[in-house]
Structure 1
Amino acid sequence: MGVFGGQPGSRAVLRLPVKIMLLLVAAWLLVLCVGYAQQFQNPFSRYEPVHIDIDELPRMPTLHLVGDSSMCRGGTNNGVKGVKYEGWGEFAQDYFECKVTSYAISGRSSRMYTWEGRFDRVFNATKPGDYVVMQFGRNDKGKLRPKDNGKAVCPGRELNRTCRSIFKGKKVDVLTFGGYLANATARFRELGANVIIAAPTNNNPYGAGDSFYAKPTEWGPLSKITAEVLNLTWVDHFLYGTEMMRRLGKNETQKLYPVQADRSHTNPLGADFMARAFVRGLMCTDSGLSRYVNATAAQRITGGCLPEMAQDYQG
């Protein structure tokens, strides 16, 4: 009998060593498989983790709207009861990819918006890279004497001119239209925002018969002068709104205003129309805000850019 229990020369002599060898090979293969499996489970185990700060990623800016009843929700606070008014700022979101927030308040002038502290709310919400559109003028006209209503600004195109007045029993220094916008612009720039000044919107240009009145008030040119002095983008909202209404015709234009006697305040249809007029004017400037215009919505805006001289025509 051999050493391993079989006859010398028999095959049984090799059975035990072969089994041991097979077990060793199997164990070796198992170790290799486990090692490869661990690598496949975590293929990046040899690399250091990379931490990304989401605050450093590019953010979509916010468009802040500052203005009066032509822009604000509800359109006006002293209209005909039961009539639906609306300001164009409520439809602006439809035309921009970025978030749009309106801080417009009915009946406000650049001066009143300032002393009421309403700019502070916008300042607190503004972040670097945001855009701000300021549109005033409808309520800025008036006299400081004999009674100051808190809305009228100091007359003149100078940004540093002031007038003395008595308001609520106290002596106050009243700035010009451009002065109030300049102060707000300075703060927005400190916050890293891009400021745009828009001319006031136009009224219904159609009068009795076939008359068409399209001459801008003093606040359109004043808004342009202020924008030029401050090196800001200026959008001639008046010009584009007027030109679009001329193409629309009298009958269709009347549908944009809920009360025929009120030539200033629009209904929702008119507000959407004026939002398109603003975007059309904006796209004819070099403002970076144009990059965030919604391409699909922009297809509803027809017509090209207009020469500035067109704002002086009167039909």
Structure 2
Amino acid sequence: MKVLKLSLFVALMLLTMPVSAQITGEDLLGLKSGADPKTERRGVIPGSSRKEGRPVVFIVGDSTVKNGRDDGSNHQWGWGHFFSDMVDTTKVSVENHALGGRSSRSFITEGLWDKVLSAVRPGDYVLVQFGHNDGGSLNMGRARASLKGYNDNDTTVVMELTGKAETVHSFGWYMRKYAKDVKAKKATPILLSHIPRNMFTNKDSVAVIRNTESYGLWTKKAAEMESVPYVDLNKLIADKLDRIGKDSIQTLYYGDHTHTSMAGAILNARTVAEGISGLKNCGLKEAMKK
């Protein structure tokens, strides 16, 4: 109960803090409660938020972006739930189409991407964050893994569940596909490295592990190859967590070392907004709250 209460305190602090504000360990103490999560935002039809021709910001990703039913019933939240709080909704609308358990590959092979893409119009924005679920088996069990790297590697496997052959590509290939598809719609893709886990370089370290040599690097390379905006969300958040301190950041996660509490999701959403605000030649920065 104390952990949950402190998480709510932290959430209020993060909601009311200016986007540009810095967060320290001291900021996490002596906070007042009062933050209430928004009403549920699940089952949104792609493009249904479009009003008066304003651009739509579509978000796709995994459970660190939209967790469960997106109502906090399991005390876990994704940052996509709170991202609309960071933007001027008179300029853009926000739709979170992420889904837990999906990888860069399975979000496409399950047809989820086609549904989102069908609603994308010129001038829209699509935020893409994957990587947490891109490991594991290529063809057994959940069979959602992509090949490591960013080059055009592929292999053909026989899927255990269906007995059918499937060509599996590299993580970078899938990320480039998202970027290419969005650009073909004359919209703007923004690729993001995935959020850091509550894990450290060693048991005595206060340094959060980065993904700069794996999925973060491959996402960055995909963005460079397609000449699209890239936000190193993993590093931006990890740098904040290092400043907050190992003990204090425990309230930003819930249940495991990957999924965030309300406070953690708000911190991550705010960091996404900061990252976008720092981009060059990206019109979405003009819609970020100051």
**TM-score normalised by the chain length of structure 1:** 0.68
Larger proportion of helix: 1
Q: CA deviation at 1:118?
A: 0.2
The runs of 5 or more residues in structure 2 that have no matched partner are 1-50
Aligned-pair RMSD on alpha carbons?
2.3
Inter-CA distance 73–211: structure 2 relative to 1 (3 Å threshold): closer
- SS of aligned partner of 1:101: strand
Is 1:86–2:80 an aligned residue pair?
no
Write out aligned runs for 1:180-195 (5 A).
Answer: 180-195=174-189
1:215 is matched with which residue: 203, 210, 215? 210
C-alpha distance in 2 between matches for 1:244 and 1:75: 28
**8 Å CA contact 2:156, 2:168 repeated in 1:** yes
**8 Å CA contact 1:65, 1:101 repeated in 2:** yes
Is 1:293–2:254 an aligned residue pair?
no
- SS of aligned partner of 2:63: coil
Residue identity matched to 2:244: L
Q: CA deviation at 1:58?
A: 8.3
Deviations 1:177-217 (A, max 9, x none): 12222223222222221001000111124574554233326
Is 1:251–2:244 an aligned residue pair?
no
Inter-CA distance 172–148: structure 2 relative to 1 (3 Å threshold): farther
Identity among equivalent pairs (%):
29
Q: Of the two structures, which has the highest relative contact order with CA contacts closer than 8 Å and spacing of 6 or more?
A: 2
- SS of aligned partner of 2:181: helix
The runs of 5 or more residues in structure 1 that have no matched partner are 1-56, 296-315
Q: Name the structure 2 match of 1:100.
A: 94
Deviations 1:144-203 (A, max 9, x none): 36x364311123321x32211111201121111122222232222222210010001111
**8 Å CA contact 2:75, 2:261 repeated in 1:** yes
**8 Å CA contact 2:125, 2:189 repeated in 1:** yes
C-alpha distance in 2 between matches for 1:144 and 1:74: 24
For these two proteins, the number of residue pairs brought into alignment is: 231
C-alpha distance in 2 between matches for 1:131 and 1:86: 22
Q: Name the structure 2 match of 1:49.
A: none
Residue identity matched to 2:153: R
- SS of aligned partner of 2:284: helix
Is 1:142–2:136 an aligned residue pair?
yes
**Greater Rg by CA:** 1
C-alpha distance in 1 between matches for 2:124 and 2:149: 30
- SS of aligned partner of 1:100: strand
Deviations 1:97-143 (A, max 9, x none): 12110010001001101110001111122111000011111111124
**TM-score normalised by the chain length of structure 2:** 0.74
C-alpha distance in 1 between matches for 2:144 and 2:67: 20
